Amino acid sequence: MASIFWEDQICAEFNRITQINLKSAFFSCLDEYIPRMIKLYRVRGGAHENDMKTLLDQLDNQTSDVFAHRKATALKGLPLFIRDKAKHFLKTCLDTEPEEYHTKGMKMGIITIVEDDLATIHSNPNVRCLSLVLEDHIVLDNVQDLPTAMALLFGLIYALNMNYPKELKYNFEIIQKVFIGLDPQCSARVPSFKNKLLMSK
């Protein structure tokens, strides 16, 4: 399925509404908070302790492009740490599999498409691209990495004035308040997370 949105289009509309550069704001805050987020995950783990341990073990086993893996780990670990339900939000599929199999029933999420190479799929898969999904359909494909995909998905949700999915409410509120700097009313869990970040130097 061809994209119905474009990256530049999403960023421009977000900037028109908020006067904020979406990617610049998100990336600068993410880069600042990555070490603190990883530290929090190691010390406290969160509600999904086993999943968090697996995620951190995968990070520790990386030997190349470590900073990129740390960024991805920070974002993948966030819903685990704050007790959101990310099971159907972040998916991985092979480039030989039909997209519809993975997008069906996916209200909102990100799919990582990897090469169908059985020798590496479980250890160090070769990521081809990422796709954004809304209401069972891929709306933007060929996204380069998870931080970009996360920023664009948030920008798309905000530009379309969509409600955050209940199971990922805190994840997106943290992106909105902590990473982007938009400051509406938020759940108590959000400032609590930010305080933990500021204290974990």
Which comes out higher in pLDDT, residue 9 or 97? 9
The average pLDDT across 34-63 equals 87
Confidence band for 92, pLDDT divided at 50, 70 and 90: confident
Question: CA 108, CA 89: separation in Å to the nearest integer?
Answer: 7
| Predicted local distance difference test score (pLDDT) of residue 121 | 46
pTM exceeds 0.75: yes
Best-predicted range by mean pLDDT (22-26, 65-69, 114-118, 119-123): 22-26
Confidence band for 127, pLDDT divided at 50, 70 and 90: confident
Confidence band for 105, pLDDT divided at 50, 70 and 90: confident
Domain boundary assignment for the chain: 7-199
